[in-house]
């Protein structure tokens, strides 16, 4: 059977058993504690926990689930490539019962599918059953054991041989330390050659780690609830959760040629049609790079031979093929689900995976330049029929991977070069360890990942000074903290004395509070309750005024402290005691502007998803009184049409004056509502706050908002840019922020206009608009800004035309003088003993003396067929310049760049260039004559 037949057969079988066939859930998990969806049961957890009703009738389901196990608890990354069955991405086939059927059906249906439908040889199958050690939970799973006894006896097999017992480690599944759990039965298949196979030898290999006996299916019977006191209480409803390794099943069926051949086996997940098209594309790309392994690669570069690559290729190339094929699947499927490479969390895991694949392609296969993105179409063609999101997002997948490869390519080339130099130095000195200082320099200065250095070191048989690297990292961290200008305040709190401030600012703009903590330097107080919002989630903290008796203090900022404390940073030390009652009033005007920008941020997020698609995901934000900033995942720059569409949608919703409602909900309820946006890098408590704008924009958010969208007023996007690979940033303003932005931008444009007027020596334009004043209508302020921009563009173009005319006249004058200089100087050329003609000239006294004249003279010599060395100098009152030109006939003997580098120290500067043309300059103008007189000495 082909892999598509295996997948279809599995789903069809359970559809016949009245299971609802559900689509795979996203690789972006519902649980904030998971990096990626890593098991088939993830999407059904709320049903198992009775947090949501089962939507299927009857209550049973089956699917093939996309899974990634890289990073976190389940991390197979470092094993991938070095064996035939580990993956970072894999499919898990599974069937579930939610309080419906139980062990009898789960076991007998598993046997029916494997033996009756897929023709697995019964005598090669073994089952494990839970039998606890004395100190382990629950009791012997007699029910499952009895069912397996009947199954094996009906096949004419001895249950005593084919059923094994396992302890908690292998045969008891728990969701966590507490919660749903239960025993499980694993099904293993023995792959010993026919001449060696006997039931007793088959039995001895179960759970031994041997590649000749593979677990293919785990049947979990969820029937207990683990309590905090360590006891196991029967659940009111019992469930079934099974998981089958899709790639493993395919490798067994195809590797044994449909169970007809068990001698000379080659069982490998990679030697299946699951990977055929990807492997073939890798081979073709490696061959096109003129790899040093061309001949051996060509031997596998066909549909008939590619799946034999593990038999034919040397081990390093085999590992490289496995790594690239596996990692590309992970990247493509993750990006299609909106998870992109970045510098943190799951995004950083993807970046590591991509860089590991690139490293193997470059170092082992000799592939030059970006290549992973070129293999994506082969992958999409293979998997899109089952996972259509790959076809929908193909262009995005290609662009994101290509951008990441190009960025990393520069890092790799520099890092590999430095590593090779260091390796040679160590070998010469007979040193076997890379110093922590060198490893850190690669990491910090050149962006070369530690784990990639570690891999290169291992292959070069060098050890790593990890302690030295860690010391350097800590020193860098301390330097970074010392350079951080923002005041970060911490309050020491122990145990029950933890301070909690009650926030009343959603409902009130002022209120009383008791002083719980006072600090003189930096001056701050912590209150029992406050209307001031503490900086969090991108929204800046409130400012305001604190009143105590006859004293008045300005609140400069509000920050989150440890636990639930809110810190009020003051303009001076608080003179009152702990326990004093104070009155606080926030700056309501400032708060309203912040709320306007925060509400507009939600509208912007919604509009981006409407225009660019639901794959857009928030990657960061800033919400202040002056502007909003919104970072989001998107593979390319937005077009003017897309930006206009987004701006129009936000403007329409503001004009509609939709209500902005907030409600407090159980996070369990929120998780089951797909219309509510939640950010999976965040950790949420049991109770969350939902901001609902008009029913179309729903997000978990703790910030402050307007009562309705109409209060936001005029909205304008002011910029869109890239901040990282696959991450874009939009800055926008609304309401009074538009007026302030327009006034600031008007000032900047006015200054530029003045500079241009002085440069061109022309008067300012008379149609320049009046500056938007404070309190001006935002739409009128924006109109004035747009007029100022248009006026400046016109003025700038007139200036450019003036410069073009002057430049043309100057160019003609320079060219004329250059020809005259050529006619004079080439006749006076001196010839070196080597036979090379040399001209050295100081052009400081020429009519149009300038650095531009140096280049014009060099061009004149070149155009007239001059063959030799030309050294030209020029100086004014502030700077000296030197240009060296060497004709192609003599660049093998003399380099212009080398000559310049010898001369420029004499004028106190720097320079460089190519072997045929180089330039330099410096501020020591009096040294020019000395430099030119030294030319002959340098050329000997």
Residue 761 tokens read as 């020596």
Long-range contacts of residues 517-523, Cβ cutoff 8 Å, at least 24 apart: 517/491, 517/565, 517/578, 518/574, 518/576, 518/577, 518/578, 519/489, 519/491, 520/573, 520/574, 521/573, 522/487, 522/489, 522/569, 523/569, 523/570, 523/571, 523/572, 523/573, 523/574
Q: In 10 A of CB 714, how many CB atoms?
A: 19
Beta bridge partners of 839: 870
Q: What is the pLDDT of residue 429?
A: 85
How far, in Å, CA of 446 to CA of 417, rounded?
11
Cis peptide bond N-terminal to 58, omega within 30: yes
Instruction: Please report the beta strands in 335-469, taking only residues with DSSP state E, as ranges in sequence order.
Output: 433-434, 463-464
- The distance from CA 225 to its chain's CA centroid, rounded to whole angstroms, is 38
Predicted confidence (pLDDT) at residue 774 exceeds the cutoff of 70: yes
CA atoms within 13 A on the CB side of 334: 31
Q: pLDDT-derived band of residue 259, with 50, 70 and 90 as boundaries?
A: very high
Residue 257 tokens read as 């040629």
Predicted confidence (pLDDT) at residue 491 exceeds the cutoff of 60: no
Closest by Cα among 171, 269, 261, 282 to 221: 171
Q: What is the pLDDT of residue 755?
A: 86
> Does residue 769 contact residue 747 with C-beta atoms inside 8 Å?
no
> Does residue 541 contact residue 567 with C-beta atoms inside 8 Å?
no
Task: Identify which of 78-92, 571-585, 807-821 has the greatest average pLDDT.
Answer: 571-585
Closest by Cα among 558, 517, 1 to 249: 1
How far, in Å, CA of 587 to CA of 572, rounded?
18
Is the Cα torsion angle 615, 617, 619, 625 positive or negative in sign? positive
Q: pLDDT-derived band of residue 551, with 50, 70 and 90 as boundaries?
A: very high
pLDDT greater at residue 468 or residue 680? 468
Q: Specify the pairing of strand 529-530 against strand 502-503.
A: parallel
> Does residue 122 contact residue 115 with C-beta atoms inside 8 Å?
yes
pLDDT greater at residue 848 or residue 271? 271
Q: For residue 222, give the DSSP letter.
A: E
How far, in Å, CA of 180 to CA of 379, rounded?
38
Predicted confidence (pLDDT) at residue 240 exceeds the cutoff of 50: yes
Closest by Cα among 114, 135, 223, 121 to 174: 223
Chain length of the chain = 940
Q: pLDDT-derived band of residue 75, with 50, 70 and 90 as boundaries?
A: low
How far, in Å, CA of 11 to CA of 61, rounded?
10
pTM for the full predicted model: 0.64
Residue 226 tokens read as 């683990």
Q: pLDDT-derived band of residue 622, with 50, 70 and 90 as boundaries?
A: very high
Q: What is the pLDDT of residue 96?
A: 96
How far, in Å, CA of 415 to CA of 410, rounded?
9
> Does residue 567 contact residue 560 with C-beta atoms inside 8 Å?
yes
How far, in Å, CA of 631 to CA of 618, rounded?
6
Mean pLDDT, the chain, as a whole number? Answer: 88
Task: Identify which of 133-142, 159-168, 838-847 has the greatest average pLDDT.
Answer: 159-168
- Crossing angle of helices 450-459 and 345-363, rounded to 10°: 30
pLDDT greater at residue 101 or residue 820? 101
How far, in Å, CA of 731 to CA of 643, rounded?
12
How far, in Å, CA of 909 to CA of 644, rounded?
49
| Burial class for 674, CB neighbours closer than 10 Å (0-12, 13-18, 19+) | exposed
Q: For residue 123, give the DSSP letter.
A: G
How far, in Å, CA of 529 to CA of 511, rounded?
8
Could you identify the residue written with the tokens 């689930």? 65
For 804-844, the pLDDT digits (tens) are 676 576 667 767 877 888 888 877 888 888 888 898 888 88
Give the rounded percent of residues in the chain with a pLDDT score beyond 70.
94
> Does residue 503 contact residue 566 with C-beta atoms inside 8 Å?
yes
For 10-30, the pLDDT digits (tens) are 999 999 999 999 999 999 887
How far, in Å, CA of 280 to CA of 626, rounded?
54
pLDDT greater at residue 552 or residue 675? 552
Q: What is the pLDDT of residue 85?
A: 86
What single string gives the DSSP state of each residue in 559-592? EE-STB-EEEEESS---SPTT-EEEEEE-HHHHH
Instruction: Please report the beta strands in 849-916, taking only residues with DSSP state E, as ranges in sequence order.
Output: 869-875, 880-886, 909-913
For 849-899, the pLDDT digits (tens) are 777 788 888 888 888 888 899 999 999 888 999 999 999 989 988 999 899
- The distance from CA 120 to its chain's CA centroid, rounded to whole angstroms, is 43
Q: pLDDT-derived band of residue 191, with 50, 70 and 90 as boundaries?
A: very high
> Does residue 144 contact residue 221 with C-beta atoms inside 8 Å?
yes
| Phi, psi values for residue 352, rounded to 5° | -65, -40
Residue 546 tokens read as 């604190």
Q: What angle do CA 444, 450, 456 make, to 5 degrees?
A: 125
Q: What is the pLDDT of residue 289?
A: 79
> Does residue 829 contact residue 837 with C-beta atoms inside 8 Å?
yes
Q: pLDDT-derived band of residue 484, with 50, 70 and 90 as boundaries?
A: very low
> Does residue 382 contact residue 332 with C-beta atoms inside 8 Å?
no
Q: Specify the pairing of strand 551-560 against strand 544-548.
A: antiparallel
Residue 740 tokens read as 């302030």
Q: Specify the pairing of strand 213-226 against strand 727-734.
A: unpaired
End-to-end CA distance of the chain: 78
How far, in Å, CA of 277 to CA of 262, rounded?
26
Q: Specify the pairing of strand 909-913 against strand 529-530.
A: unpaired
pLDDT greater at residue 905 or residue 73? 905
For 493-548, the pLDDT digits (tens) are 443 446 899 999 999 999 999 999 999 989 999 999 999 999 988 999 999 999 99
Residue 218 tokens read as 């785990």
Q: What is the pLDDT of residue 186?
A: 97
Q: Specify the pairing of strand 433-434 against strand 463-464.
A: parallel
CA atoms within 13 A on the CB side of 704: 28
Q: What is the pLDDT of residue 486?
A: 45
Range in 62-71, 285-294, 634-643 with the lowest mean pLDDT:
285-294
How far, in Å, CA of 94 to CA of 106, rounded?
11
Predicted confidence (pLDDT) at residue 618 exceeds the cutoff of 60: yes
Q: In 10 A of CB 626, how many CB atoms?
A: 16
Is the Cα torsion angle 686, 691, 697, 703 positive or negative in sign? negative
All residues at 6 or more sequence positions from 881 whose CB lies less than 8 Å from its CB, including other chains: 851, 854, 873, 874, 875, 919, 920, 921
Closest by Cα among 685, 695, 600, 682 to 646: 600
Residue 811 tokens read as 């160019």
Q: pLDDT-derived band of residue 485, with 50, 70 and 90 as boundaries?
A: very low
> Does residue 296 contact residue 317 with C-beta atoms inside 8 Å?
yes
Q: For residue 905, give the DSSP letter.
A: G
CA dihedral (407, 86, 184, 67) in degrees, to 10, reads 30
Residues 359-363, mean pLDDT to the nearest whole number: 86
For 682-740, the pLDDT digits (tens) are 566 778 899 999 999 999 999 999 999 999 999 999 999 988 767 889 999 999 999 99
Beta bridge partners of 729: 631, 721
> Does residue 842 contact residue 882 with C-beta atoms inside 8 Å?
no
Q: What angle do CA 124, 128, 131 make, to 5 degrees?
A: 155
Q: What is the pLDDT of residue 562?
A: 80
Cis peptide bond N-terminal to 681, omega within 30: no
Q: What is the pLDDT of residue 487?
A: 44
């Amino acid at each position: 059977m082909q892999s598509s037949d295996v997948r279809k057969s599995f789903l069809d079988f359970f559809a016949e058993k009245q299971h609802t066939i559900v689509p795979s859930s996203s690789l972006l998990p519902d649980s904030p504690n998971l990096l990626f969806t890593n098991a088939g049961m993830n999407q059904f957890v709320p049903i198992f926990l009775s947090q949501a009703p089962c939507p299927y009738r009857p209550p049973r389901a089956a699917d093939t689930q996309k899974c990634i196990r890289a990073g976190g608890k389940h991390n197979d990354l470092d094993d991938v490539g070095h064996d035939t069955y580990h993956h970072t991405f894999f499919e898990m086939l599974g069937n579930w019962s939610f309080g419906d059927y139980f062990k009898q059906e789960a076991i007998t249906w598993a046997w029916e599918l494997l033996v009756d439908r897929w023709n697995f040889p019964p005598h090669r199958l073994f089952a494990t059953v839970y039998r606890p050690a004395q100190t382990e939970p629950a009791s012997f799973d007699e029910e499952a054991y009895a069912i397996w006894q009947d199954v094996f006896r009906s096949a004419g097999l001895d249950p005593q041989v084919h059923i094994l017992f396992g302890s908690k480690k292998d045969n008891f599944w728990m969701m966590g330390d507490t919660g749903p759990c239960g025993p499980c039965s694993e099904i293993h298949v023995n792959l010993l050659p026919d001449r060696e196979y006997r039931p007793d030898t088959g039995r001895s290999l179960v759970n031994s780690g041997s590649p000749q006996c593979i677990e293919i299916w785990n049947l979990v019977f969820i029937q207990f609830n683990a309590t905090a006191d360590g006891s196991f209480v029967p659940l009111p409803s019992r469930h079934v959760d099974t998981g089958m390794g899709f790639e493993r099943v395919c490798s067994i069926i195809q590797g044994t040629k449909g169970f007809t051949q068990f001698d000379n086996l080659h069982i490998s997940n990679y030697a299946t049609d699951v990977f055929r098209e990807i492997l073939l594309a890798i081979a073709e790309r490696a061959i096109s790079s003129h790899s040093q392994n061309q001949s051996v690669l060509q031997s596998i570069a066909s549909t008939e031979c590619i799946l034999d690559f593990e038999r034919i290729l040397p081990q390093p190339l085999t590992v490289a093929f496995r790594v690239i094929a596996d990692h590309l699947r992970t990247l493509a499927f993750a990006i299609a689900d909106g998870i992109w490479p970045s510098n943190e969390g799951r995004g950083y895991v993807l970046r590591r995976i991509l860089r590991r694949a690139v490293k193997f392609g470059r170092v082992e296969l000799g592939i030059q330049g970006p290549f992973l993105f070129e293999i994506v179409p082969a992958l999409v063609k293979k998997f899109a029929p089952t996972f259509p999101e790959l076809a929908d997002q193909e262009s995005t997948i290609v662009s994101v991977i290509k951008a990441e490869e190009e960025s990393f390519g520069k890092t790799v080339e520099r890092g590999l070069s430095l590593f090779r130099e260091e390796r040679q130095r160590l070998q010469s000195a007979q040193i076997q360890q890379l110093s922590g200082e060198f490893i850190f320099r690669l990491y910090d200065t050149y962006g070369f990942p530690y784990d990639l250095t570690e891999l290169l070191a291992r292959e070069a048989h060098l050890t790593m000074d990890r302690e030295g690297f860690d010391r350097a990292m800590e020193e860098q961290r301390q330097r970074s903290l010392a350079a951080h200008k923002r005041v970060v305040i911490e309050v020491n709190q122990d145990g029950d004395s933890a301070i909690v401030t009650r926030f009343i600012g959603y409902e009130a703009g002022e209120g009383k509070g008791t002083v719980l903590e006072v600090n003189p330097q930096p001056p701050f107080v912590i209150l029992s309750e406050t209307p001031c919002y503490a900086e969090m989630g991108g929204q800046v903290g409130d400012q305001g005024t604190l009143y105590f008796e006859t004293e008045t203090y300005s609140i400069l900022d509000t920050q989150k402290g440890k636990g639930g404390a809110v810190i009020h940073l003051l303009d001076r030390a608080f003179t009152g005691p702990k326990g004093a009652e104070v009155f606080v009033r926030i700056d309501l005007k400032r708060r309203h502007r912040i709320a306007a920008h925060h509400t507009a941020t939600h509208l912007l997020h919604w509009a981006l998803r409407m225009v660019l698609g639901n794959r857009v995901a928030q990657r960061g934000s800033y919400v202040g009184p002056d502007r909003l900033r919104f970072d989001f995942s998107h593979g390319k720059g937005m077009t003017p049409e897309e930006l206009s569409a987004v701006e129009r949608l936000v403007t329409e919703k503001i004009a509609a004056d939709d209500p902005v409602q907030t409600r407090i909900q159980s996070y369990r309820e929120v998780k089951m509502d797909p219309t509510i946006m939640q950010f999976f890098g965040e950790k949420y408590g049991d109770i969350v706050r939902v901001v609902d704008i008009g029913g179309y924009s729903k997000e978990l958010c703790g910030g402050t908002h307007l009562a309705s969208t109409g209060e936001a007023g005029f909205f304008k996007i002011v910029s869109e840019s890239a901040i990282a690979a696959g991450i874009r940033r939009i800055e926008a303003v609304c309401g009074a922020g538009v007026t302030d932005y327009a006034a600031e931008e008007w000032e900047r444009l006015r200054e530029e206009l003045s500079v241009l007027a002085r440069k061109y020596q022309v008067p300012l334009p008379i149609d320049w608009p009046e500056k938007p004043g404070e309190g001006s209508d935002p739409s009128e302020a924006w109109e004035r800004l747009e007029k100022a921009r248009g006026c400046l563009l016109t003025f700038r173009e007139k200036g450019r035309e003036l410069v073009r005319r002057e430049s043309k006249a100057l160019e003609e004058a320079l060219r004329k003088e250059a020809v005259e200089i050529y006619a004079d100087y080439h006749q006076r050329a001196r010839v070196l003993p080597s036979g090379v003609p040399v001209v050295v000239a100081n052009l400081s006294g020429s009519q149009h003396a300038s650095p531009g004249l140096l280049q014009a003279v060099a061009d004149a010599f070149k155009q007239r067929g001059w063959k030799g060395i030309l050294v030209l100098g020029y100086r004014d009152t502030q700077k000296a310049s030197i240009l060296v030109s060497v004709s192609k006939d003599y660049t093998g003997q003399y380099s212009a760049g080398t000559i310049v580098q010898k001369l420029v120290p004499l004028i106190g500067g720097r320079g460089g260039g190519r072997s045929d043309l180089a330039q330099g300059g410096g501020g020591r103008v009096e040294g020019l004559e000395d430099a030119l007189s030294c030319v002959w000495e340098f050329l000997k």
